[in-house]
Amino acid sequence: MQVDSSANIRNITLTGHADTGKTTLASALLYTGGVVNRMNRVEDGNTVTDFDPQEVERGNSLGLAACFVPWRKHKINFIDTPGSGMYGVEARAGVRAADTALMVINAGSGVEVTTERMWEYAASIDQPVVFLVNKLDRENTSLEMVIEGLEESFGRNIVALQLPIGSEGDFSGIIDLVSEQAYSFDKDGDGKGTAIDTPADLADRVEEWRAKLIETIAESDDDLMERYFEEGTLTADELRQGLRNAIASRDIFPVAISTALHGVGMSTLLDVCVDYLPDPTVRGTYPATDIAGEDCEVTTSEDGAAAALVFKTLHDPFSGKISIMRVVRGQMSSDSTTWNPRAEESEKLGQLLHLQGKQPSPTSQLVMGDIGAVAKLKHTISGDTLGPKERPVRLGWIEVRPPSISYAIEPKSKGDEEKINEALHKMMEEDLGLASGRDPQTGEVLLSGSGQLHVEIAIAKLAQRYKVEVILHPPKVPYRETIRRAADGHGRHKKQTGGRGQFADCKIKLEPLSSGEDFEFVDQIFGGSIPQGFRPAVEKGILESRARGYLTSFPVVDFRVRLLDGQYHDVDSSEMAFKIAGSLAFKDAMSKAAPTLLEPMMNVEIVTTEEFMGDIMGDLAQRRGRPQGMDTKGDKQIIKAVVPMAEMLDYSPALRSITQGRSRFTMEFSHYDEMPKQVQEKVIAEAKKEAED
């Protein structure tokens, strides 16, 4: 569908908690708009926006997907996003790229945690929000009950646009409170309502709810308020214009209704999108930073040099890499050249595409505000800006929080390392919540995500899509050893095998250093007790021994070695002999230097609400955590603590269980600290058992 005017575009993100029916809604809207010739259902595995094999297998969205519905000469772009908190980065990316967040509410569940989080994010970027109460045909559901919950969570500017005809299983029609027109829907039909008279038994209810709508719209504008006081009501045109303005300015958050699975409310929702939701020209400006990193704004004009935000990357086995973008200024044209300021590289745009899920259709251009895609960009990743080289800017993007949990992976088959690295690179381009790299301390390859299930799904994708299988392990905790007091050590290596023998003798002193100073070697030999050429071999032997550890297999840190004295033989001494002697001297000194184990400590920050504070603090205490303070941000409590890494390996599912998924945490390395004696004994015993095995 070619669009010539930005005013005929709507960009809407379908967001909200899991199991609210967002993907089913997208399918129903595509059916009503004539894009597909039948209603595709999630349970059948044939929806347009859930196309990854893992999405089909699990029946849940795992990444955002774009589609569009032609309706009344408008192109309505929908971005279907996951409802699971594991894929919050995908949901935020979808909201960032759109002009309106359509928050889908399960009528039986009301406001849930992902809804709260996406409300907060939409507010942080000043984006309009519309609520859709879905699944109103379920038992024990009530529009009034859901709106009460919305008002309790998000304020009093929540107002119904529509009322249901029938309730629970009999819900089969919708009354538009602006036009006072009622519509009947055939269950499991094409989603297009038929105009009918308002049922007489609902007249009083319509009058009551419409009066509230009119009053709320009037309160959003001084001129309308004056008219309302003078006339006692507002005209239909005043209502429509006032509602458009109030939604765009976030003064009103309207509520529509539906049962997407049976097609009830689809045409009326599409009408709401066209009539009341802001088009791309309403935005005016888009946040950005210039090449100096200073904040600036890009005017969202249909004229001027083209600029676009790439908000999703896909890797298709046939088309290759596909970059999905939203045009913020000007027009993007096929076969043109643009500039990526992050990569500092030019990109040649090939054929531009409109997308229905993963199905592309060619288009010659994308006007300002439109959403489309292009294949095979070489340097561009999600979050990048494409624009003019002469005035480079980077368009506003989302904060990608660091992963909260890591697992070690190893290939099942030897020789698959390169294939795994290549596959992980593609998967991390698609899913910004994933990270991978080699731990410099343990040497393990780590795969990190927002939770255990997130990592397990990534492993399943590796096997299913890229045909490589890996074994998943909890990561090793990179413990360290150190000493608590100074001690002398003596190493003597003497071996006679007939002919030339081996001889070396050295004396050293170990001294503790401050945390973080690692290692220092001081040559204090005066004279020739050990020739100059053999002294580096003593240091090398000590370095090799400290890497293997003394108490366990973990390296020894934060100590100084003083080389004090020794002996050599003109014929039998060698570098190898002095390396062995240095190693023996190190072990001898370690046995007297009060060796101890150090463990990595993590700075942990937990964002929660007041009701869970006690349980979280109790759990942290059991994990040997030390509270560092608490802050308040809005209605959120922020707990800061220092906790041993070993106690945080299973924290993601534990926190989810404690708070019903309503809290999140981040952690980063802080420092090394001495481990309690009883914990040391357990770690040393496990290390010895592992060495024996």
Q: Is 544 exposed, middle or buried (0-12, 13-18, 19+ CB in 10 A)?
A: middle
pTM score of the predicted model: 0.81
Q: What is the pLDDT of residue 2?
A: 79
Q: What is the pLDDT of residue 441?
A: 67
Reported as a single tens digit per residue, the pLDDT across 280-321 is: 999 899 999 998 999 999 999 999 999 999 999 999 888 899
Is it the case that residue 660 has pLDDT exceeding 90?
A: no
Reported as a single tens digit per residue, the pLDDT across 385-440 is: 999 999 999 999 999 987 767 889 999 988 899 999 999 999 999 999 999 998 77
Crossing angle of helices 222-231 and 236-248, rounded to 10° = 150
Name the range with the highest mean pLDDT among 13-17, 443-447, 665-669: 13-17
Mean pLDDT of 236-254: 96
Proportion of the chain above pLDDT 70, given as a percent: 99
**Distance (Å, whole) CA 504 – CA 527:** 16
Is it the case that residue 568 has pLDDT exceeding 90?
A: yes
Domains within the chain, CATH numbers bracketed = 8-195+252-280 (3.40.50.300), 285-393 (2.40.30.10), 405-473 (3.30.70.870), 480-593 (3.30.230.10), 598-689 (3.30.70.240)
In the numeric block, the tokens 């609400």 are attached to: 609
Q: What is the pLDDT of residue 665?
A: 84
User: What count of residues does the chain have?
Assistant: 693
**Distance (Å, whole) CA 185 – CA 199:** 14
**Distance (Å, whole) CA 561 – CA 615:** 47
Q: How far is CA 518 from CA 559, 590, 668, in A?
A: 6, 16, 21
Q: What is the pLDDT of residue 670?
A: 86
List, in sequence order, every residue forming a beta bridge with 471; answer none if it has no partner: 410
Is it the case that residue 633 has pLDDT exceeding 80?
A: no
Q: Is residue 637 within 8 Å of 608, Cβ to Cβ?
A: yes
**Distance (Å, whole) CA 21 – CA 135:** 8
Is it the case that residue 548 has pLDDT exceeding 80?
A: yes
Angle at 69 between CA 66 and CA 70, to 5 degrees: 140
Structure tokens at 136: 């109103």
The phi, psi pair for 391, rounded to 5°, reads -130, 70
Collapse the DSSP code of 165 into the 3-class scheme (helix H, G, I; strand E, B; otherwise coil) and give the result: strand
Arithmetic mean of pLDDT over the chain: 93
**Distance (Å, whole) CA 633 – CA 273:** 33
Is it the case that residue 668 has pLDDT exceeding 80?
A: no
Q: Is residue 355 within 8 Å of 370, Cβ to Cβ?
A: no
Reported as a single tens digit per residue, the pLDDT across 431-475 is: 999 999 987 767 889 998 887 788 999 999 999 999 999 999 888
Reported as a single tens digit per residue, the pLDDT across 216-227 is: 999 999 999 999
Residue 16: pLDDT band with limits 50, 70, 90: very high
Q: What is the pLDDT of residue 458?
A: 95
